[in-house]
Amino acid sequence: MFIELTDHLICPAGHEEHYLVLLPGVMEGRRVVTGDLGCPKCGRVVRVRDGIAEFEGAPAPGARPSRLTADAVAAFLGLQGPGGFVALAGAVGALAGQLGEALPGVALALINPPDGAADTLGASVLRSPRLPLQRSSMRGLVVGPDFASSPEWIADAIRATLPGLRVVAEGGEPPEAVQVLGRTAECWVAQKPAVHRSG
């Protein structure tokens, strides 16, 4: 797990959003190989083993693969320039290697990717019952077919995306809170409203 990602993680318990504190064990450069993530609010401890953060209650990987391509995801996200994180939830995490090449300098957070997804410096693996990501912390978020039909996962994806940037979902229905930029029978792309300040 890339250590900078820990600045964007929250406890997935039912209380209000709260950051996690990292107690690193073994480090390889900027990658956390082993350690603990603790929630000061509820005391929950999340173990990091082999670079993977294992939140209690994470679902088993889904059997339905993503039909998206890395080039399509990169185009849908519409990002310009390096920096920050993009999160991939579910089966779409299988595209991490190719997407990393399509989005140079952008780190990836893979939440519940398919079995065999390797944790690397550029693609951190998290296994969690819900998106453990801070509000407005991701430059984009892609929800695979195994989670796109869940209103809770879609709501969390929108919450975690920066204002003015995009959420892509492979299935399900976009909520009214976002501006739909395009959709097919199997996929939709939406923009989170930008924050407008008066005065």
- Paired tokens of 49: 């083993």
Strands 161-169 and 35-38, sheet pairing: unpaired
Q: Is 93 helix (H, G, I), strand (E, B) or coil?
A: helix
* Backbone phi, psi, residue 95, to 5°: -85, 5
Distance of CA 149 to CAs 64, 144, 196, Å?
13, 9, 30
Write out the residue limits of the CATH 3.40.50.150 domain(s) in the chain: 70-191
Q: What is the pLDDT of residue 63?
A: 73
Mean pLDDT over all residues of the chain?
A: 93
Q: What is the pLDDT of residues 104-142, one digit of tens each?
A: 999 999 999 998 888 888 999 999 999 999 999 999 999
3-class state of residue 166 by DSSP: strand
In this prediction, residue 196 carries a pLDDT of 54
Q: In this predicted structure, what is the pLDDT of residue 133?
A: 97
Out of 5-9, 48-52, 193-197, least confident range: 193-197
Which tens digit of pLDDT belongs to each residue from 44-95? 999 999 999 999 999 987 778 999 999 999 999 999 999 999 999 999 999 9
Fold topology of 70-191 = Rossmann fold (3.40.50)
Angle at 51 between CA 50 and CA 53, to 5 degrees: 105
Confidence tier at 199 by pLDDT (50, 70, 90) = very low
pLDDT at residue 126 in the model: 96
- Do the beta carbons of residue 154 and residue 36 sit within 8 Å? no
Q: Give backbone dihedrals phi and psi of 154, rounded to 5 degrees, phi first.
A: -65, -45
- Confidence class of residue 198 from pLDDT cuts 50, 70 and 90? very low
CB contact at 8 A, 193 and 179 = yes
Q: Tell me the pTM.
A: 0.94
pLDDT at position 12: 87
Name residue 61's amino acid.
Answer: P
| R_g of the chain, CA atoms, integer Å | 16
Strand 179-183 versus strand 138-143 pairing type = unpaired
**By three-state DSSP, how is residue 151 classified?**
helix
pLDDT tens readout for residues 24-44: 999 999 999 999 999 999 999
* Closest among 100, 118, 93, 121 to 4, alpha carbons compared: 121
162, 130, 169, 110: CA torsion to nearest 10: 80
Tell me the sheet residues that pair with 123: 108
Buried b / exposed e over 150-180, threshold 16 CB at 10 Å, is beebbebbbbbbbeebbbbbbbbebeeebee
